[in-house]
């Protein structure tokens, strides 16, 4: 079984977002970038577990990004993985990203494609399902457990109002969230080994653009907190009723 893990580079979760160029761009000065937590903690680690248990033969990592994303791909390789691919394109549209990955997958062939529930920068949660459609595959989102045997996967997934266990034949795209695996910390051996693993840079294919970001906006500042005495909860309830009108 060949596994491909989709890795996205995102600003560290503690980043305070600032804008520039008349609010048409994110100011990335001083921003540190990390592997999208869902991709690292769950998708990548589960792929490595499947390799360690002998279920998977190869684990490849892919990212769509310019040269500045190589540091996170190296970081991902330090956790494990046999080979990394970077498609040299700058995209913040999920259709463009998915089309780039699909273009590569068509020539390489994978049985299981793992991605994260969503990237914490653009919060689309769309690339995985788009990829599945472009590749004529099934897609299982919001996975909390993934087992694989032969050409069958068994996945626990969150559904509207509950949870479900489903099975599906390979090939399939699965989007991972909490539960799928436990996060790991890279060790020195991994970091050294990562240096020698191949990182392939692939030229992008031509994809029609379907969206563009016109501008950004920061949330308005809160008006300030109104303090209520801990001895007067009746007042708090009254404020929630007559002022905030939420109960």
Ligand X SMILES: Nc1ncnc2c1ncn2[C@@H]1O[C@H](COP(=O)(O)O)[C@@H](O)[C@H]1O
Q: Which residues would be at the binding site for ligand X (CB under 6 A)?
A: 6-8, 36, 38-39, 62-65, 94, 97, 115-116, 118-119, 122, 124-128
- Structural contact between residues 246 and 240, judged by C-beta atoms closer than 8 angstroms: yes
39 binds, among ligand X, ligand FAD, other proteins, none (CB under 5 to 8 A by kind): ligand X
Closer Cβ to other proteins, 61 or 127, answer by number: 127
Q: In degrees rounded to 5, what are phi and psi of residue 10? A: -135, 160
Closer Cβ to ligand FAD, 14 or 53, answer by number: 14
Sign of the dihedral through C-alpha 117, 121, 123, 126: negative
Closer Cβ to ligand X, 102 or 194, answer by number: 102
**H/E element holding 162?**
strand 162-169
Question: x-or-dash pattern for other proteins, window 75-114, by CB under 8 A?
Answer: ------------------xxx--xx---------------
Q: How far is the CB of 227 from other proteins (least distance, A)?
A: 5
112: three-class secondary structure by DSSP = strand
Closer Cβ to ligand FAD, 37 or 65, answer by number: 37
Query: Measured in Å, how far apart are the chain's first and last C-alpha atoms?
Result: 54
Using rule CB under 6 A, residue 125 touches ligand FAD: no
Among 37, 65, 80, 125, binds ligand FAD (CB under 6 A): 37
- Structural contact between residues 137 and 171, judged by C-beta atoms closer than 8 angstroms: yes
102: three-class secondary structure by DSSP = helix
E strand map for 15-161: 19-20, 25-26, 33-35, 58-64, 83-87, 112-116, 138-149, 152-159
Closer Cβ to ligand FAD, 37 or 80, answer by number: 37
Q: For the segment 138-177, give every residue that binds other proteins (CB under 8 A).
A: 138-142, 144, 154, 158-169
Using rule CB under 8 A, residue 222 touches other proteins: yes
**Distance between CA 1 and CA 152 in Å, rounded?**
11
Where on the chain is the footprint of ligand FAD (CB under 6 A)? 13, 37
């Amino acid at each position: 079984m060949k596994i491909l893990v989709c890795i996205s580079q995102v600003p560290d979760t503690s980043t305070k977002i600032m804008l520039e160029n008349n609010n048409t761009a994110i100011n990335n000065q001083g921003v540190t970038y990390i592997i999208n937590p869902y991709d690292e903690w769950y998708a990548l680690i589960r792929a490595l577990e499947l390799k360690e248990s002998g279920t998977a033969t190869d684990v490849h990592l892919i990212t769509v990004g310019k040269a500045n994303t190589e540091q996170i791909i190296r970081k991902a390789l330090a956790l494990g993985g046999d080979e990394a691919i970077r498609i040299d394109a700058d995209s913040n549209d999920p259709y463009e990203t998915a089309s780039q990955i699909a273009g590569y997958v068509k020539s390489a062939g994978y049985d299981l494609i793992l991605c994260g529930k969503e990237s914490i920068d653009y919060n689309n949660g769309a690339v995985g399902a788009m990829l599945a459609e472009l590749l004529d595959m099934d897609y299982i989102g919001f996975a909390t457990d993934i087992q694989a045997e032969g050409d069958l996967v068994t996945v626990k997934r969150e559904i509207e109002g509950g949870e479900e266990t489903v099975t599906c034949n390979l090939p399939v795209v699965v989007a991972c969230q909490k539960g799928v695996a436990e996060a790991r910390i890279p060790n020195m051996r991994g970091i050294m080994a990562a240096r020698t693993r191949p990182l392939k840079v692939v030229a992008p294919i031509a994809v029609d653009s379907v969206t563009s970001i016109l501008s950004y906006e920061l949330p308005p500042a809160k008006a300030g907190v109104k303090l209520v005495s801990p001895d007067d909860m009746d007042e708090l309830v009254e404020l929630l009723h007559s002022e905030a009108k939420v109960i």
